[in-house]
Amino acid sequence: MDGAARLLNVPSTTFAWPFLHAELDGMSAATPLAQMKFDHVATPLWQLLTGDTAGSLGETSALVLAVVGLWLGLRGAFDWRIPVAVLLGTVLLGGALHLVDPGHNPSPLFLLACGGLLFGAVFMATDPVSSPVAPRGAWVFGLGIGALVVVIRDYGGRRPRASSVRDPADERGDAADRAQGAAAAARTEEGRMNADALDQAPEPSSSSLRLVATLTAAGALAGLLLASVYAITLPTIEANAAAAVRRAVFEVVPGTASMQKLVLDGARFVPADGSEAKDAIAVYAAYDQAGKHLGFAIQGQGRGFQDTIKLLYGYDPTREGLVGMQVLDSRETPGLGDRIGKDPSFAAEFAALAVAPEIVVVKHGTGSEPCHVDGITGATISSKAVVRILNERNRALLDKLPKGDDVPPAPATQQEGDK
């Protein structure tokens, strides 16, 4: 490190950390996980909490990571269920192994405080693009990650075990004696290796083949499990998504008491009879308690800042304007872009919004026309993505919607799952 400091023209004393009680040019040591796996020496918990251990930058202090994770969770930056489930999965499986064989398996507290577990639980598992959005899925996702962490730590790259887990304070012997013993052992090992090299040609190690085989088997098993779970749960996923859309109809068209699904047949919409294709373009006609037609709920989707945004909005043909909008699915940036679905003031922009000549996003607080929408500060791209989806859907469908007497009458009975 001293050499690197000179190259950067930074005084080497910059790297003299006070808590190390010495000015060091550099430090090289086994991480707590490596010491546990290969030497079965447990690092004291206080060192893991304060970060006074070897390890990658940013992951050594469990206490700091826990505080930062708690702060981000309270601010709603991610789904709190995911990191909690990761830690819970680690504690459950790690604790069970510790109870079965405490001499060879570390305590759950050690598992939580060392390595990159807390860092990964807070900053990686919660990635909005790859993490689940459903609460139940978040629990399954996190528990699986926690269990895999324990399995990989315990069985990955395993070497012959020591007799039991040892505490550094239990190490005995004078430092000089230990150094002499280590030097003698090294000389003996070096002599043995030289003799072996002369006696026989080197043979390829089977550890690499074992590692490849293990990873291949684990990948194949994980792929099979994912495909099986997806195939089994797909009907339920589709049914839940359809039910969510139907519930949203009552929100985006105020006063709705009943509804009817219409599908596009050529150039006009007709009542759905169940024989239409799954990907058929559909809208929902909304009616009040007396059977009067109130308007239409129209689905739309398009590219956002992070991923696809799916939404539903209400359209009143008599006023030629929107009467409501609800985001059904979004993976926009937590705390910024996801406000398109969480910020009530943004949703209120669509409660009485003209569609002609077209909807326009303006800087927050500067809207002056009936078709203007105040964008979300810090989430302009997401705000514009919502408006772009609405304009594209309006251009494609508004002139095809039934008008006047062409609107189908309200259904005689309330449809299953309406409300």
Closest Cα to residue 341, out of 385, 392, 371?
385
Structure confidence at residue 183 as a pLDDT band (50, 70, 90):
low
Angle, in degrees to the nearest 10, between helices 135-155 and 81-100: 40
Residue 164 clears pLDDT 80, i.e. is over it: no
**CA–CA separation, 230 and 90 (whole Å):** 25
Residue 1 clears pLDDT 50, i.e. is over it: no
**Residue 149 exposed, middle or buried by CB count within 10 Å (0-12, 13-18, 19+):** buried
254 and 159 assigned to the same domain:
no
Residue 416 clears pLDDT 70, i.e. is over it: no
pTM: 0.59
Does residue 274 lie in a domain region? Answer: yes
Q: Which of 75-84, 246-255, 269-278, 298-307 has the lowest mean pLDDT?
A: 269-278
Full domain range(s) for residue 280: 250-406
Question: pLDDT: is 164 or 245 the higher one?
Answer: 245
pLDDT 10s digits, 46-63: 888 887 777 666 667 888
Structure confidence at residue 74 as a pLDDT band (50, 70, 90):
confident
Does residue 382 lie in a domain region? Answer: yes
401 and 262 assigned to the same domain:
yes
**CA–CA separation, 153 and 400 (whole Å):** 60
State residue 301's pLDDT score: 92
392 and 256 assigned to the same domain:
yes
Number of domains in the chain: 2
**CA–CA separation, 259 and 283 (whole Å):** 10
State residue 171's pLDDT score: 46
How many CA atoms does the CB half-sphere of 93 hold within 13 Å? Answer: 18
Does residue 231 lie in a domain region? Answer: no
35 and 130 assigned to the same domain:
yes
Does residue 21 lie in a domain region? Answer: no
* Final residue before a domain boundary, out of 149, 166, 183: 166
pLDDT 10s digits, 372-390: 999 988 788 999 999 999 9
Does residue 268 lie in a domain region? Answer: yes
Residue 26: partners with Cβ closer than 8 Å, 6 or more residues away:
1, 2
Share of the chain above pLDDT 90, in %: 28
**CA–CA separation, 148 and 138 (whole Å):** 15
162 and 272 assigned to the same domain:
no
**CA–CA separation, 262 and 273 (whole Å):** 9
136 and 276 assigned to the same domain:
no
State residue 98's pLDDT score: 87
292 and 389 assigned to the same domain:
yes
Chain mean pLDDT for the chain: 79
Question: pLDDT: is 15 or 374 the higher one?
Answer: 374
* Final residue before a domain boundary, out of 120, 137, 166: 166
Q: Which of 170-174, 284-288, 392-396 has the lowest mean pLDDT?
A: 170-174
Q: Which of 52-56, 130-134, 237-241, 335-339 has the lowest mean pLDDT?
A: 52-56
State residue 78's pLDDT score: 85
394 and 299 assigned to the same domain:
yes
Residue 310 clears pLDDT 90, i.e. is over it: yes
Residue 60: partners with Cβ closer than 8 Å, 6 or more residues away:
48, 51, 52, 53, 54
Residue 35: partners with Cβ closer than 8 Å, 6 or more residues away:
41, 42, 43
State residue 350's pLDDT score: 94
Does residue 175 lie in a domain region? Answer: no
Residue 406: partners with Cβ closer than 8 Å, 6 or more residues away:
268
Question: What mean pLDDT comes out for the span 258-285?
Answer: 86
- As beta bridge partners, residue 329 has 310
State residue 348's pLDDT score: 92
Residue 27 clears pLDDT 70, i.e. is over it: no
End-to-end, the C-alpha distance of the chain in Å comes to 67
Does residue 371 lie in a domain region? Answer: yes
**CA–CA separation, 223 and 93 (whole Å):** 22
257 and 351 assigned to the same domain:
yes
Does residue 222 lie in a domain region? Answer: no
For Cα atoms 60, 62, 68, give the angle at the middle one, nearest 5 degrees: 110
142 and 288 assigned to the same domain:
no
Question: Which helix or strand (DSSP H or E) is residue 339 part of?
Answer: helix 339-342
Structure confidence at residue 137 as a pLDDT band (50, 70, 90):
confident
Residue 255 clears pLDDT 80, i.e. is over it: yes
Residue 323 clears pLDDT 90, i.e. is over it: yes
Question: What mean pLDDT comes out for the span 181-203?
Answer: 51
**Max avg pLDDT among 172-181, 296-305, 409-418:** 296-305
* Final residue before a domain boundary, out of 120, 148, 166: 166
Structure confidence at residue 4 as a pLDDT band (50, 70, 90):
very low
Residue 26 clears pLDDT 70, i.e. is over it: no
Residue 214 clears pLDDT 90, i.e. is over it: no
Residue 322 clears pLDDT 90, i.e. is over it: yes
State residue 6's pLDDT score: 37
